[in-house]
Chain A
Amino acid sequence: MSDLVSKSSVVSSDQWVWGLFAMLLVLAPWVFTSNLSMTMMSQMGIAIIACLSYNILLGQGGMLSFGHAVYSGMGSYFTIHALNMVGQGSFYLPVSVLPLVGGLAGMGFAVLLGFVTTRKSGTTFSMITLGMAELVFAMSLMFSEFFGGEAGVSGNRVVGEAVMGINFGPQRQVYYLIALYTFVSMVLLYALTQTPLGRILNAVRDNPERVEFIGYNTQQVRYRAFIIAGFFAGIAGGLGALNFEIVTAEVVGPARSGAYLLFTFLGGATFFFGPVLGGILMVLAFVLLSELTKAWLLYLGFVFLFMVVYAPGGFAALIMVNLRIFKAGAFGRLFNGYVGLLLSGLLMLAGASALIEMVYHLQLNAAMSSQLVFAGITLDTHAASHWWFAGSLLLAGLGLFEWQRKRFMGVWDQVQADLAGAGSKP
């Protein structure tokens, strides 16, 4: 009985969350009004759809794909070509439905290439997706008529007459189009997780053998999930084409596929909202972090390695676990540990980043001056004391962090055990 009550309350809280999310999408441009934030929010919407579609494979199907950008990228190309054809008057389609063209293109390529890739699962699947991604990327350099060569294909999204004053000229109008697509895609993708296909996909991830025993063809399940993922990736790509009005070969490149994988994982593949966080992080990293330091990919790589080893559920899992501890009132016991980890982690980061920035400075602008300003501190690459100081900061940080981590893990295990004990009691 109590089970039933809690279930119905979950549904209503779900509706609350969706409502809040819709409000957020609508109101965000009125809060963050600058041009930068407007373009960033548009990109976030696109990245959210892309990461969510990737997570059908990674999180829900256990398929680690190295070539997801193929489907979003082909979506981009088909959308921009459709846009240009509409502009030339070859046929008529409203600009607002053009991302669907991209979606269909992504789906078409998923049908075609997925037939080969989804024959396998696990590690082999990953390698084949990598091969497919390289195949398409190499082809993009061969067929310059379709892919536009080095310069790419550009277009103009303001075509035809304005409908109710909307011509998609201003960024704000594009943002709302993206927001609408983001919201609808999210609802659909969430609904997918509740369907029999979504459920059996989870089963295929966890135990393919048993799924075969109960009479399902695991290859078919993977194939269908792959096609759906391709469709939504194509929509994200189509929106990207409308947003940037230019598509270059890098949209199908391995770097883009890698970014989808990296940020979907960082956001958290085990929760539905993880990739949403991942998409937001992706844009923040690409736009802001890359401004802050030239070595941003290095930091990103280290954060990724750290997360794979210590927090395989990504940020979403970290948030959910701590929320649970907070609800159980045990957060106070962990608080000291968190502060210790944070402080020692910051110490480690300060030392490591000072070293990294000094080496980069030597590499890139050594001819100009030996000094650089990093985080408000002037570092001199010629002063040995600066190197020693940064190095010892790093070592001290590492030592303290390891010590704090061991202590924290002890408390953490105890808290987990207590929570599990409390949960199992009648």
Chain B
Amino acid sequence: MEFFVISMLNGLSYGLLLFMLSSGLTLIFSMMGVLNFAHASFYMLGAYFGYTLSGVLGFWVALVLAPLLTGAAGALFESQVLRRVHKMGHVSELLVTFGLSYVVLEVVQLVWGRVAVDFTAPAFLQGPLFTLINHSAEGLSLVAGAAGGICTPADPAVRIVCSPFPATRGFIMLTAIGMVVSLWWVLTRTRAGLIIQAALTHPETVETLGHNVPRIFMLVFAMGTGLAGLAGVIGGFTFITEPAMAATVGSVIFVVVVVGGMGSLSGAFLASILIGVIQTFAVAVDYSILQFLSDLGVKLSANAQNNTMLQLSVSQAAPVLPYLLLVLILIFRPRGLLGTRDV
């Protein structure tokens, strides 16, 4: 039970982090038709900005400033480079962001080095947020913070399992939910959001009404990359801040966007949570086809028992699962979970 609860919460927090990234990607895609290949690079940039700024100005300033800086970098790229290739079509736009991902990776290695930097959570986020205690006699209970000495029973007959939930994970969930709510509020309840939504579907009309559509595009791009930067700061200290972090998360968020349905925010949300939960559970499950067969009572020859394919446990196969999901979705529901258009 405690395994399920903790894994579920971990999965949800990872899924919410994925959504912070994929929402920006989706927003940019549905607005400008541009798939920002370098989106995960902005995530990485946010983490490194956060690392440097938190060392100088403290954590809270870094949490605000790093996403703003990342967003500014995004705006600069959009207005100086991306806009120039807009008329050449989607392939050129994709290519230019692909080139940017190379440049950002190299610049990060140039400035911060090729090995991981020591970006740790601030003191108040270190340690567990709460601990689930499964007492063999008293049942399940919950303690805020670390459990301390309760986990080692005085009586050897009592079995106690403590499962801590890290505070950083809780912080991810809090930030992501705050972001989702404010994003929803901005997009649907403010004048600026309505203009953005209108520019999404009817750019010419919005332009005729006197709005500067290229500037709206720039702001949307800045907003999307800024969200990626915010995800980068909290992802940076929760996981690890290294030059490979963009590549690790980059391909997963593309899977999220396709599985959710291109251009659908709610689809991206659903797919993020789905993939986050699936991956987290898969990593924790040490079960293979071999075990499944022997549980069924199938007797296998020694040769078959040495088969790598059968020995492969679910946790080993975890990195592949998002892509398998992608393949299945494309075969059975090509428009994605909540997609409305067949792109």
Contact = CB atoms under 8 A, between A and B. Distances in A.
B94 interface: yes
B245 interface: no
Interface stretch (B150-158, B226-234, B247-255): B247-255
Interface stretch (A101-109, A274-282, A301-309): A301-309
Taking chain B's interface residues, is the majority helix, strand, or loop, or is none over half, making it mixed?
helix
Interface in B77-123: 81, 84-85, 88, 90-92, 94-96, 98-100, 102-103, 105-107, 109-111, 113
B99 A301 contact: yes
A138 B319 contact: yes
B88 A302 contact: no
A135 B320 contact: yes
A55 to B, nearest CB: 13
Interface in A72-126: 116, 119-120, 122-124, 126
Given A122-B343, A265-B95, A135 B323 contact: yes
Contacts of B99: 262, 301, 304-305, 308
B174 to A, nearest CB: 30
Given A131-B326, A135-B320, A123 B94 contact: yes
Given A142-B317, A305-B100, A363-B110, A119 B95 contact: no
B96 A123 contact: no
B258 A297 contact: no
A120 B316 CA distance: 30
A58 B91 CA distance: 9
Interface residues of B, number: 48
A335 to B, nearest CB: 26
A126 B251 contact: no
A139 B257 CA distance: 22
B270 to A, nearest CB: 17
A297 B106 contact: yes
Interface of B: 29, 33, 35, 81, 84-85, 88, 90-92, 94-96, 98-100, 102-103, 105-107, 109-111, 113, 247, 251, 254-255, 257-258, 262, 308-309, 312, 316-317, 319-320, 322-324, 326-327, 330-331, 334, 343
A50 to B, nearest CB: 18
Contact of A116 (B88, B113, B330): B330
A351 interface: no
B44 to A, nearest CB: 15
Contacts of B319: 138, 141
A312 B258 CA distance: 28
Nearest to A123: B35
Contact of B308 (A130, A143, A309, A312): A143
User: 10 closest Cβ contacts across the A-B interface?
Assistant: A301-B102, A298-B106, A135-B323, A301-B103, A305-B99, A304-B99, A138-B319, A134-B251, A131-B326, A127-B254
Contact of B98 (A145, A261, A297, A309): A261
A293 B241 CA distance: 25
Contacts of A254: 247, 251
B35 A126 contact: yes
